[in-house]
Structure 1
Amino acid sequence: MARITIILQDLGGGGAEKMMVRLANQLAEGEDRVSLILLMAGGENLQYVNAKVDVFELGASRSIAALAGLRRRLRALQPDAVLSVLTHVNVISIVACASLGWLAKLSVSERNTYSLDRQVNPQWMVRCAYVLAPWLYRLLPKPVIAVSKGVASDLVLSAGIGAHQVTTAPNPVIHHQWQLQSRVASQHPWLQQKQGKVIVAMGRLVEQKGFDFLVDAFARLNQQMLCRLIIFGEGPLREALTAQAAKLAVSERIDFAGYCPNPLAEIRLADLFVLSSRFEGSPNALVEAMALGTPVVAFDCPHGPREILDDGQLAPLVEMGDVGGLCQAMLASLQLPLSDSGRQRLIQSVQRYRACQAAAHYRQLLLGVS
């Protein structure tokens, strides 16, 4: 039995938080003693943490203010391995572990395209973390764990980290409750009683996710085929996207449906899932859609979609920002539905993202044992 501690800012509704809950739950299904330390507190994903996982909420008002509390908690837990997630949390974790003489126990994970993600966060403390992180990563005995090969390559190129100092591990997307959650009844009326084709997208309503591209492409699509679009997620661009839909006269055919606690039940019934992001790390929603056998279309953004879709062999990859190309790819996918064998091909292609396999990979990287 090993003692493994995972450090996050909180358990909000983001992809990194969701994946770390699934990783912690899967590791705890074995004999390991698993702890989650939250620098702040709470979040939508807190409710999904397995009872076998110990959760410690430090309750800091800002991540940096949690440093002393983090150090005390780590010393009390005496873990065999520590995993930190997201750049600004990684910087704080490195300082805390260094002060305890534990750098050999620490692994850090980068979840997004580093060179692009550091440009979009407005908080000055987080920006400072992006400056410090590459220098601190070079001090770590263990390699940085990147969420995809693209993120790993970007770290090497943009952060000046040696290729030998970076490795990859897949997200634990497909978990043991997968089938149960996906078979729950849909909560959206457009999917409960379909009147034509329904497209689904999911993510925070922020610039990174490119929903402005998707709304534009959908408006063009509706000039050729009447259908509907549901975008699950919340964020600061809700008002702007709603105004864009109204301007393009598609307000009645687009629903900004807000946060969805169980997107699997919705994606399973969709006719098409679309990823319109400007950049990613490894888009979990794309993997979820494919694991359900739902047809997908994606922008060839940095990074993740090309790797997941096998260079476009599994589903259409559209040049990032090409609204016309996205429209035509959606139209073609809706006009020529996938066969049962095509759906099975999608499902089989993402089996490496099963939680049991991902957890075994992470455990080997954290502890050096299988």
Structure 2
Amino acid sequence: MKKKIVLAIFTLQGNGAERFALTLAKGLVDAGHEAHIVYFKNIIDLPIPENIQLHFFDYQKYRAIPKFMRTGFAARAFDKFVLKNIGIPDLVLSNLYPVDFVLAHSQLPNVHLVIHNTTSQEYAKQLTPQFIEQLKKTYLAKPSIGVSEGVTRDFRQLFGEKSQIKTIYNPIDVDTILQTANEFIPEYQDYIVHVGKFKQQKRHDILIKAYAKANVLQKLVLVGTGELMETSKQLVKELNIEDKVIFAGFQKNPYPFIKHAKLMVLSSDFEGLGLVILEAVVLGTPVISTDCPSGPSEILPSINLVQVGDSDLLGKKIQDALSQSENFKINLQKQFFTDVAVKSYVSLITH
């Protein structure tokens, strides 16, 4: 039976939760359901699959309302917007702050909050008892979905026995990835790639130091943009490797960069799951990653993992993965296929 599913997200700019929303929406449509994406800020940088209906909910105008009143006002406006433009949904999936903070107050049926990161790590600098109580008002108000077992475990540890959370792994659209990876061939050859925003979580500093220590012939291509990009450029300059590191900027289609790389490296302090790891696996590119509290170890074997924050070990692992690349390739496990995720999400509809 055809179901009407709403995915709410702040923007359609980025590579993690944003690609998840588009991939799941496409999978739902392919399975015969109706998928609607409601976005809060009018930025669309990603290609939109066919038959997904987009709706812009102008959240900016509620920013003038004091924070303690804003979520209630915005939630009522969101509900009204959805009922007017979409109708009564069978399932609503909220993705990321500040969408979660609004939709925790929604009165629409079957609202679930999708938790894309280890919450304790994401809010590590703010985790006072008072702030945890604030978060509880949001994250215990509705049932939640963890995108990996580690995310789910962390959520339960933080919020206790009242947590309503289960795990559904983020899906990968294998056919689309394989197809779009052939759209062009990057101008670079013989390189290592990293795809991700330049923010503290991703630890470009560890990656750049590890790359310098590895002293390999392959260049390092950094795909993405963000607040710490200039800091990373400065570090590259200090290490005197400007001729070997390429800042490729944000790419709507990062898949050709991943496909043609000799190796993908993740250097994050934490990840929810690590979609780019799955994308690299699909494209047959070897991946190494820091062994975050959640995510990479649920995808990769131990040989592909290295301790978080250790640039020496990561540099050595880069050397190993380049010289023995076949040992670092793996096959995609079935729990990451789109049809599995679609069935799991549709099973949340209980009416």
Q: Aligned-pair distance for 1:161? A: 4.6
The change in CA–CA distance for 1:158 and 1:75 in structure 2 (over 3 A counts) is same
Any conservation in 2 of the 1:138–1:161 contact (CA below 8 Å)?
Answer: no
Distance 2:75 2:113 in 1: 16
Residue matched to 1:71: 79
Q: Quick one: which amino acid aligns to residue 102 of structure 2?
A: I
Residue matched to 2:105: 95
Q: Quick one: which amino acid aligns to residue 95 of structure 1?
A: H
Residue matched to 1:258: 249
The change in CA–CA distance for 1:2 and 1:92 in structure 2 (over 3 A counts) is same
Residue matched to 2:323: 335
What do residues 183-235 of structure 1 show as CA deviations (whole Å, max 9, x unaligned)?
A: 23223x222xx4xxx1111100111001100000111111xx32210010000
Gaps (5+ residues) in structure 1? 122-127
Q: Aligned-pair distance for 1:368? A: 4.3
Residue matched to 1:212: 205
Q: Aligned-pair distance for 1:262? A: 1.5
Residue matched to 1:227: 218
Q: Aligned-pair distance for 1:24? A: 0.9
Distance 2:28 2:125 in 1: 33
* From 88, 103, 107, the counterpart of 2:112: 107
SS in 2 for 1:48: coil
The change in CA–CA distance for 1:285 and 1:130 in structure 2 (over 3 A counts) is farther
Any conservation in 2 of the 1:155–1:161 contact (CA below 8 Å)?
Answer: no
- Identity, % of aligned positions: 27
The change in CA–CA distance for 1:49 and 1:132 in structure 2 (over 3 A counts) is farther
Distance 2:207 2:19 in 1: 24
SS in 2 for 1:176: helix
Q: Aligned-pair distance for 1:176? A: 3.2
Residue matched to 2:90: 80
SS in 2 for 1:90: helix
Residue matched to 2:124: 119
Any conservation in 2 of the 1:203–1:233 contact (CA below 8 Å)?
Answer: yes
Residue matched to 2:66: none
TM-score by length of 2: 0.89
Distance 1:131 1:49 in 2: 39
Residue matched to 2:337: 354
The change in CA–CA distance for 1:137 and 1:28 in structure 2 (over 3 A counts) is same
TM-score by length of 1: 0.84
Distance 2:151 2:209 in 1: 28
The change in CA–CA distance for 1:75 and 1:269 in structure 2 (over 3 A counts) is same
Residue matched to 1:190: 188
SS in 1 for 2:17: helix
Distance 1:12 1:284 in 2: 15
SS in 2 for 1:96: coil
Q: Quick one: which amino acid aligns to residue 5 of structure 2?
A: I
Q: Which moved more, 1:82-91 or 1:282-291?
A: 82-91
Q: Aligned-pair distance for 1:129? A: 8.6
Gaps (5+ residues) in structure 2? 64-69
Q: Quick one: which amino acid aligns to residue 219 of structure 1?
A: A
The change in CA–CA distance for 1:290 and 1:175 in structure 2 (over 3 A counts) is closer
Distance 2:10 2:321 in 1: 39
Any conservation in 2 of the 1:11–1:42 contact (CA below 8 Å)?
Answer: yes
Any conservation in 2 of the 1:91–1:129 contact (CA below 8 Å)?
Answer: no
Structure whose residues are more often helix by fraction: 1
The two structures, once aligned, show a CA RMSD in angstroms of 2.2
Equivalences, count: 336
SS in 1 for 2:105: helix
What do residues 13-63 of structure 1 show as CA deviations (whole Å, max 9, x unaligned)?
A: 141011101111110123322211112223212x3242x222110122148
Distance 1:94 1:156 in 2: 18
The change in CA–CA distance for 1:334 and 1:269 in structure 2 (over 3 A counts) is same
